[in-house]
Amino acid sequence: MKTFKFILGWLIPIAIAIALSLVIKTYLFQLVRVDGLSMYPNLQNNEWVMLFKQSKIKHDSVIVFDADGVDPSAKKDAKYVKRVIAMPGDTVEYKDNGDLYINGKFSSQSYISKEQQQKGTLTLELPATSQFTLGSGHKFTVPKDEYLVLGDNRANSNDSRYYGFVPKKKILGVVKVFFWNSKRQIINSYDAN
């Protein structure tokens, strides 16, 4: 009987800890590893970030989404890290000089260089999506429950320019970086609009 109580004394706390960690990972937050250079220089390849599942998505938030079913070239269970450029219902115009206007208001995109804003964004390496066109004279509206997302390293990012809008149901959460990351303000609390 003593052995049974001793074993239960260890098993119950372990079971509670496992259950608690599963609840936290499923509903609150988890660690995610950045894979690739699409968010460089603001996020590095192989950098670990926190994914907050209950955070509010806003303009310029960095998010993680399930790419399976969004990007036809994505592997099963692929997760992409990208920046939200436009929200559902936003009217977008991305001019030839790299200037971005959301609902008629200029968006500075100061988290990337002017070269990435212009050449990196408008010079496409793959066939463009048929959902919208970037460049002067082209405006489009983001559909309900969908988002326009781009990588910060636009010249090296597979993003909405190629596969279109990301449905809200595919978004897993908002990225936050640790305090030692020198780009933490650009990721954690960026709000230039």
Question: 43: buried, middle or exposed (CB in 10 Å: 19+, 13-18, 0-12)?
Answer: buried
Q: Give the model confidence (pLDDT) of 139-179 as tens digits.
A: 999 999 999 999 999 999 999 999 999 999 999 999 887 66
Burial pattern 61-72, b for ≥16 Cβ within 10 A else e, equals bbbbbbbeebbe
Q: Give the model confidence (pLDDT) of 88-97 as tens digits.
A: 999 999 999 9
pLDDT for the residue numbered 186: 63
Q: What distance in Å separates the CA atoms of residue 45 and residue 156, rounded to the nearest whole number?
A: 12
Q: Give the model confidence (pLDDT) of 12-68 as tens digits.
A: 777 666 666 665 566 556 888 889 999 999 998 999 988 988 789 999 999 999 999
- Give the 3-state secondary structure of residue 188: helix
Catalytic-labelled residue, pool 82, 107, 170, 176: 82
pLDDT tier for residue 84 given thresholds of 50, 70 and 90: very high
38 is catalytic: yes
Catalytic-labelled residue, pool 5, 25, 38, 144: 38
Q: What distance in Å separates the CA atoms of residue 173 and residue 185, rounded to the nearest whole number?
A: 18
Q: Set out the domains of the chain in order of their start, with CATH numbers.
A: 56-171 (2.10.109.10)
